[in-house]
Chain A
Amino acid sequence: MGSVICGSGNVAPAKISYRQVGEGPDVILIHGLAANCAFWQMDLLLPLSAKHRVTVYDLRGHGYSGMTESGYRPSDMADDLLSLMDQLGIGKATIVGHSFGGAVALRFIEKYPARVENLVLADTRVHAIQPTNYARDWPNAAEALPRLHALGLDIPDDERDSGIWLLEQLAKPEWRSERHKLKGSPLYMPFAPFGGGTRSANKWLKLLKTTKARQEISFIDGPTADQISQISQPVMVYYGSHSTLQDSFRGLQKLLPNCSAVIAPKAGHFFPLSQPLAFGTEVAAFLASTESAKSVIRIHSDAATTYGRVREAVAAESK
């Protein structure tokens, strides 16, 4: 993988590792917390890279990217993305973010709207809509919580971000074998489809333990609901049918009535990992629809221009 150095202002420089596949208009995929760019599996990338240049990268503190003491606010990571795009010569791209990667994408489109062609949010908790994610509020709490309890995982009542809490517990060595018991369930939280994910899990724990990431990832200073409603680019919101983030899914559709809303059937939060081909195909279809919509507009504007010329010609003749 290639790498560039990102970081500006008060944010320490960090190596950001990336990989590109395919040729065409740019698409950038942002993974979520505790993951890395391998989250986007090959059969997810294939349908996307058929007509696009796809860039995947490791967020700061993840995968092969550098770990700094701070620089983990969505806003900081949006700046890392801007720097990555600048250094790779990407002027404008479709930004696809899963989970926390979507929070980075939202912050990015708010800060740098001119750099975004389309936006895809996959199972992202939108803080302006859903500020907390208590386990008791999960739509599937009645089924899921007893299953977790049976494994010895009791999410504290006052835990505002149950997803991150679970992601931390399941990364610990004592839970490594247990988390595989959840395989096939919407609760499954893998660290890697290949191998046991031990080093990835350790890196995530190290990030939480030795840096300011724990506080900073929850530092949300935007966008507001009002700012989200003003997004003018085509947006796709793509959520798992069993996701605990249904409020965000519904809220986004209210704020963005023209968005393309898709549900991944029989899927939880990690559906891009469990249904990679479907994910890649759906996003590719969304991009094809936005491109054909643009060509319709272009045809209309060409027709208008032609019509204008005809009118001008008629006016000239009648003179």
Chain B
Amino acid sequence: MTNVTETTRAAASGKSGEQAILSVLVEILEDMIADWDMDLDEPLGTGTRLIIDLGFESIDVVQFIAAIEEHYRNRSIPFEELVMKDGRYVDEIVVGNVVTFLKPHLAH
């Protein structure tokens, strides 16, 4: 019983962990695009694509990463694993993937 309860608790906290991370990312993004005159079809969320939907450029990705580092006071998150693949920048970054990527790094 104890094990089941712990597992349930862990799963619940994990979910709320993801929700908390998502809220932080959405807040950072809202702040960044506040004066970009964006006309978004849908509110920012896990499905938001930084490049296609928000028109992100490299400098915005740098700004986004720096804001995450600043928020969590953590400069050792290996963001290259998120934005690079086989020595090249990936074509797109989806908010939901950022949440999944961040979760284990923020658990420590």
Tell me the smallest distance from the CB of A201 to a CB of chain B, in Å: 9
Q: A194-B89, A198-B55 are in contact. Are A21 and B75 (CB under 8 A)?
A: yes
The 8 Å CB contact of B63, one of A46, A64, A192, is A64
A63 sits at the interface (CB 8 A): yes
- What separation, in Å, do the CA atoms of A46 and B87 have in the docked complex? 12
B56 lies within 8 A of A195 (CB): yes
A194-B51, A194-B89 known; A1+B57 contact, CB < 8 A: no
For window 69-108 of B, CB contacts with A under 8 Å fall at 70, 75, 79-80, 83-84, 87, 89
| Cβ-defined contact, B63 with A1, below 8 A | yes
Cβ of B36 to closest chain A Cβ, rounded Å: 8
Most buried by B among A36, A42, A191, A197: A42
In the complex, whether B59 has a CB less than 8 A from a CB of chain A is yes
Q: Is B5 an interface residue (CB 8 A)?
A: no
Given A1-B66, A194-B61, A194-B89; A199-B80 close (CB under 8 Å): no
Task: Please determine whether B87 and A38 come into contact, CB atoms closer than 8 angstroms.
Answer: no
Q: Which residues of A contact B62 (CB under 8 A)?
A: 1, 19, 37-38
**Is B2 positioned at the interface, with any CB of A under 8 Å from its CB?**
no
Judging by beta carbons under 8 Å apart, are B89 and A36 in contact?
A: no
Which of B60, B61, B62, B83 has most chain A Cβ within 10 Å?
Answer: B62
Q: Does A69 contact B (CB under 8 A)?
A: no
Q: For B70, list chain A residues within 8 Å (CB).
A: 2
Residue in A closest to B69 when the chains form the complex, CB atoms: A19
CB-contact partner of A200 in B57, B61, B75, B89, under 8 A: B57
Q: Is the CB of B59 within 8 A of A36?
A: yes
Given A36-B59, A198-B55, A199-B55, A193 contacting B80 (CB threshold 8 A): no
Interface range, B side: 20 to 34
Interface of B is mostly: helix
CB distance from B72 to the nearest CB of A (A): 15
Give the chain A neighbours of B58 by CB distance below 8 A. Answer: 36, 38-39, 41, 192-195, 197
Q: Which residues of A contact B63 (CB under 8 A)?
A: 1, 64
Contact of A192 among B59, B66, B75, B79 (CB under 8 A): B59
Closest to B91 in A: A194
Among B57, B61, B75: residue with most chain A CB under 10 A: B57
Q: What is the interface of chain B, defined by CB distance below 8 A to chain A?
A: 51, 55-63, 66-67, 70, 75, 79-80, 83-84, 87, 89
22 contacts between A and B (CB under 8 A): A1-B66, A2-B66, A20-B75, A36-B59, A37-B62, A39-B58, A42-B84, A64-B59, A192-B57, A192-B59, A194-B51, A194-B60, A195-B51, A195-B55, A195-B56, A195-B60, A196-B57, A197-B57, A197-B58, A198-B57, A199-B55, A200-B57
Using a CB–CB cutoff of 8 Å, the interface residues on chain A facing chain B are: 1-2, 19-21, 36-39, 41-43, 46, 58, 63-64, 191-200, 277
- Extra 10 A-B pairs, beta carbons < 8 Å, given A1-B62, A38-B57, A194-B58: A19-B66, A42-B84, A63-B59, A192-B59, A193-B58, A194-B56, A194-B57, A194-B60, A194-B89, A200-B57
Q: What 9 A-B pairs have minimum CB-CB distances, sorted nearest first? A: A38-B58, A194-B58, A192-B57, A195-B57, A38-B59, A1-B66, A192-B58, A42-B80, A36-B59
